Structure 1
């Protein structure tokens, strides 16, 4: 690894648009592993720009930090991830994204009708939820929430 491959924390902050404190937070969570200089300064691999970018994209897609940590756990530290490494990560995230898309489509399609909330305030509730049977399952949109959970939106840790 050459000296050109390493960048200071301010540079990774500038290149990703994230604050220095956010970069340190990602380090604390084990998502980034800087190399320390003899003077104990952080230096990051240029490829860590891509790691931070992935974190930002995953967060925008609605993945929790725990899910991101779980998906990134197998990325190599101390070397630039290969295309094969990123394909493996992409595959792991794809299932979660597909489940979210399915839940969003179901919700969109039900917004103008019954979404299984147990409210009994619409005339259709007598058809979809006679005698408020869904109310016994708990509060909120039980049908959509239970289907989303069944679809595997949560990543196991």
Structure 2
């Protein structure tokens, strides 16, 4: 990308809704890259809009920046990703979403039996203490006292 044809950081902020400081942070984290023009100003490829949008969406689903970095490593830097590029990424991302959906579904289905438990050592607690494992460690709120499940 010729630097004079890229997006300024302000234009990128306007297109993505991100603060300039957030864009600089993502650049420092290696998630997006810019070139510098003759006046030493950052110029981002248009593909950075999609990369930043993906970062925002992935973070909403609880994906860490380290995981996002791995996913983005499969995308081309200097051009907009093709449908094939996104399919490859979506297959990896889909597994993470499916796992998260399964976890949230289990939480939703088991939460009604957990409300008010407090001690987390009731034999019937299927969410945090299946089989009353915490009760084997002693009385009281074992997990809240610092014991770790498992």
- TM tier relative to shorter chain: 0.7 to 0.9
Structure 1 runs, 4 residues or longer, greater than 4 Å off: 1-5, 114-118, 135-138
Structure 2: segments with no counterpart, 5+ residues: none
Q: How many residues align?
A: 138
Structure 2 SS opposite 1:31: coil
**What is the CA-CA distance between 1:39 and the residue it aligns to?**
2.0
Residue of structure 1 in register with 2:133 after alignment = 133
Structure 1: segments with no counterpart, 5+ residues: 147-157
RMSD (Å) for aligned C-alpha atoms? 3.0
- In 1, Cα distance between equivalents of 2:91 and 2:113: 34
Normalising by structure 2, we get a TM-score of 0.77
Residue of structure 1 in register with 2:96 after alignment = 96
CA deviations 1:16-50 (Å, max 9, x no partner) are 01011100111011110112112221111112111
Seen in structure 2, the aligned counterparts of structure 1 residues 77 and 117 have a Cα distance that, compared at 3 Å, is farther
- In 2, Cα distance between equivalents of 1:58 and 1:4: 30
Normalising by structure 1, we get a TM-score of 0.74
- In 2, Cα distance between equivalents of 1:38 and 1:81: 27
Higher relative CO (Cα under 8 Å, sequence separation at least 6) belongs to 1
